[in-house]
Structure 1
C-alpha cells in the first residue's frame, strides 16, 4: 500500500503536469498554433523538466515514457484549452483584453506548475541518492526545464534568461532549497510538501504582482 508521502507525490506530480500543460497550451493559442501545435507545446512543457531530471539521475527510460498517464493528462489539458471558446467579440480593445487575459492565466498556471515541480522534483532526486544541495538543483531543473523548452519551441527567449521578466527561477530555487532542508532533516512529510510548494507559488505570484526582478550587471545600458 502506498504511503501518504507517495500519494501526495503522485497527486502533486499530476497537478503539476496539468498546470504546466495548460501554460504551454495557452502560449500556443497566443502564438496561433493549430491543435497539433497546442498538444505538442503542452506536452513538451509538462514533461520536459521531468525528462531532463530523470536522464540526469539515471532513471532510464524516464517516467514520461513508462507512465503514460502523465502524457494523457497533458493532452487533456491541451484539449480543454483548444476547445475553450471565448465570447465572440471583435475590435482592437477586445483583442488586447483577450491577450492580457491569456497572459494572466498563463502566468498563474505556470506558477502552480513551478511550485509543485520544484518540490516533487527535489524529492525524486533526493530519493535517488543525491545529496540535499544536488537534489535542490535538480528540483530547480525540473521546475524550469519545461518552461525553457516551451519558450524555445515558441521562439521566445526563455524567461529565466531575460532581464525584463519578473523573478522566475528564484521562487523555484527557494522552494527546492526548503524541500531539500526538510528531506535532509527528516522533516519531509506529505503535509509539509504542500506548504513548501505553496511558498514557491506565492513567491512567484508576488513577483508577478509587484514586478520583482533580478538586478542587471553594473554598467548595463537600457534597451
Structure 2
C-alpha cells in the first residue's frame, strides 16, 4: 500500500510532469522537448521522465509513447553535449511477490479506485478488464519508480489534452482524490493546463472537474 501525502500545492517536479504528459498525448513534440528540458531542470530524474512516457502508451497508444521516448533520448543527448549532468535515477524493482500480474493489478486497481471495479462494459468485453488489471494496474502501476500520485497526475494531464475522453478524465479525477491529490491541487492542475495547453483544453478540464466536485 502506498503512503499518501497531502502537500498544500504541487511540487515543482509534480508540476513539470503535467506538460510532459499532456504534450505526449497530443503529439506536440516541439512543446514536449521544451517541457522535457524544464522537467529535468526542475529535478526530475531521467528514469522518472522515461517511466511517465512508458506509462503513456496505455492511454495514448504506442506511437505517441515511442515518439516521446525518442524526444527524451534526443534531449538527454543534447544536454550531455552541453555539459549538463542529469540524474539517471533508480531502476524499477522486479515483482518478487508470489502473485500474478492479474492478482497484483486487481489489488492495485481496487486500492486506487477505493472499491472493486466491475460493470456491464467489462462483462461485455472481459479481455479489456483483464488487460487493465493485469497490465496497466499490475505490470505498470506496480513499478516503484513513480508514486501513484505522480502516475495519476500524468494520467489526468494526458486525458485533459485528448478529445472525447471526458468520462475517463472524470474517473481519474476521482482516483486522484483517492490517492494523495487534493482539491486545491486539482484546481492548480487546471491552471497549469491553461498555461500550457490553452483556454479551450483548460475550460473542458475545469468543467469536468467541477462536475466531479459538485461545484
* Larger helix proportion of the pair: 1
Question: What's the TM-score, normalizing by structure 1?
Answer: 0.32
Higher radius of gyration, 1 or 2 = 1
Higher relative contact order (CA 8 A, sep 6+): 2
